[in-house]
């Protein structure tokens, strides 16, 4: 056979075999347009925002919104880990992980996470972004004063006023007796909300400044305060004379304390106190604050110290020696 014909037959055979293999086994021949495995697009933390959520007496919920920026190819197995670390102790308080899945669109994707923490102190919020269980980015933000997030029963638009022209607590003397003084007490409340405030009451507590003894306690109904209005609540009480008092006013709604204020009543003309401090100690007669009874104080007497001395008349030691010798002689005669 001609050599050229043999080579041509071999070439044709190779082509036939290749075509047959391509038909029987797809994918044997590489696609010239195939660029290999698709690399996932880049993702990172664009921003983190924190909002106050629901609260109870003990806990507060932090609503954390993480914005993830994504570009180019789809990215699979994306997840976000959020942690709350106590700002003072550095201890981990709580953690939560959210599976985002696959991100295919270019732009930002929002991931929401709620963390429940104790309603006290402050926290460092750490947000860690993972792709295929590999950390790719992270961000941190801090939140302070979590105790200011109040549960619904503590939320109120009504509070005591805070003005020198319109003080939250004031008093006037209604009657000055020989031993006791009657005071007219006033508390000024303002409703800064859009709705009327109802079921309010004010408790007035008068404490003797130096001893903190409660001299009087009275509660009055504050009624309803219209939106945007300021109202004054009044009460009358009687306390012993010649003492200085702190006037504590407590605003309550359905038995829950929602605000407090303090004033001072100086009924001792020789000594004065301010709301923030006392400047001098005074003599306190506890019987003035007793409820009923004569309140008589125990009788205090001073006794003079006395010194007793003893002395034997005569010669002292010489007489004692003579007596001893005489006793010895008498005993000797009896023995004979």
Mean pLDDT of 328-335: 57
Q: Which residue has the tokens 């109202």?
A: 231
Residue 275, pLDDT score? 66
274 in the same domain as 161: yes
Residue 16 lies in a domain: no
Tell me, yes or no, whether 162 and 281 share the same domain. yes
- The CATH number of the domain holding residue 136 is 2.60.40.10
| Count of domains forming the chain | 2
Closest CA to 53 of 62, 44, 45: 62
Closest by CA position to 87, among listed 112, 106, 110, 62: 62
**Is pLDDT above 60 for 193?**
yes
Q: What digits encode the pLDDT tens for the residues 239-249?
A: 998 899 999 99
Q: Is residue 239, in this structure, part of any structural domain at all?
A: yes
Domain boundary among the residues 83, 115, 148 is at 148
Nearest to 203 by CA among 156, 256, 251, 168: 251
Residue ranges making up the domain that contains 279: 156-288
Position with higher pLDDT, 155 vs 32: 155
Q: Are 144 and 244 within one domain?
A: no
Of 288, 312, 327, the last residue of a domain is: 288
For residues 21 and 141, which has the higher predicted lDDT (pLDDT)? 141
* Residue 184 and residue 133 share a domain: no
- Residue 259 covered by a domain: yes
Q: What sign does the CA torsion over 232, 237, 242, 245 have? A: negative
Evaluate whether residue 241 is within a structural domain.
Answer: yes
Together in a domain, 90 and 187: no
Within a domain: 19: no
C-alpha 57/C-alpha 198 separation (Å) is: 22
Averaged pLDDT, 268-278: 63
Whether residues 96 and 117 share a domain: the answer is yes
pLDDT > 80? residue 139:
yes
Q: Based on the domain organization, do 143 and 171 belong to the same domain?
A: no
Q: Is 11 inside any structural domain?
A: no
pTM: 0.57
Of the three residues 126, 148, 170, the one that is the final residue of a domain is 148
Same-domain check for residues 143 and 164? no
Does residue 86 fall inside a structural domain? yes
Q: Tell me, yes or no, whether 166 and 283 share the same domain.
A: yes
Does 160 share its domain with 279? yes
Residues 6+ apart with CB under 8 A from 265: 171, 183, 206, 244, 245, 246, 247
Residues 162 and 273 in one domain: yes
| Band of pLDDT at residue 255, cut at 50, 70 and 90 | confident
Say how far apart CA 49 and CA 81 lie, in whole Å.
15
Residue 186 dihedral angles phi and psi, to the nearest 5° = -140, 140
In a shared domain, residues 128 and 161:
no
Domain contains 12: no
Residues forming a β-bridge with 103: 75
Tokens of 336: 């004979």
pLDDT tens readout for residues 56-102: 989 999 999 999 999 988 989 999 999 999 999 999 999 999 999 89
pLDDT at 83: 96
pLDDT reported for residue 305: 39
């Amino acid at each position: 056979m001609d050599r050229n014909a043999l080579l041509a037959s071999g070439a044709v055979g190779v082509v036939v075999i290749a075509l047959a293999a391509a038909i029987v086994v797809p994918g044997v021949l590489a696609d010239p347009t195939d660029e290999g495995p698709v690399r996932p697009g880049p993702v990172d933390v664009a921003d983190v925002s924190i909002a106050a959520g629901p609260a109870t007496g003990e806990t507060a919920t932090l609503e954390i919104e993480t914005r993830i920026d994504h570009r180019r190819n789809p990215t699979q197995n994306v997840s976000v880990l959020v942690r709350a670390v106590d700002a003072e102790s550095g201890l981990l308080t709580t953690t939560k992980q959210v599976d985002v899945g696959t991100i295919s669109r270019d732009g930002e994707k929002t991931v929401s996470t709620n963390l429940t923490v104790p309603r006290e102190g402050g926290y460092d919020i750490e947000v860690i972004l993972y792709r295929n269980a590999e950390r790719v980015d992270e961000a941190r933000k801090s939140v302070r004063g979590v105790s200011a997030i109040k549960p619904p029963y503590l939320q109120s638009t009504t509070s005591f006023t805070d003005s020198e022209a319109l003080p939250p607590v004031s008093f006037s003397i209604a009657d000055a007796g020989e031993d006791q003084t009657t005071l007219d007490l006033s508390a000024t409340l303002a409703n800064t909300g859009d709705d009327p405030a109802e079921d309010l009451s004010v408790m007035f507590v008068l404490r003797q400044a130096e001893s903190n003894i409660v001299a009087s306690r009275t509660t009055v109904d504050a009624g309803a305060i219209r939106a945007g209005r300021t109202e004054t609540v009044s009460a009358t009480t009687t306390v012993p004379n010649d003492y200085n008092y702190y006037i504590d006013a407590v605003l309550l709604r359905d038995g829950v304390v929602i605000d407090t204020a303090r004033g001072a009543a100086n009924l001792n003309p020789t000594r004065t106190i301010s709301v923030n401090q006392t400047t001098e100690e005074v003599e306190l007669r506890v019987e003035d604050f007793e409820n009923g009874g004569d309140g008589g104080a125990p009788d205090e007497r001073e006794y003079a110290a006395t010194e007793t001395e003893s002395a034997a008349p005569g010669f002292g030691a010489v007489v004692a020696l003579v007596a001893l010798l005489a006793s010895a002689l008498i005993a000797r005669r009896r023995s004979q």
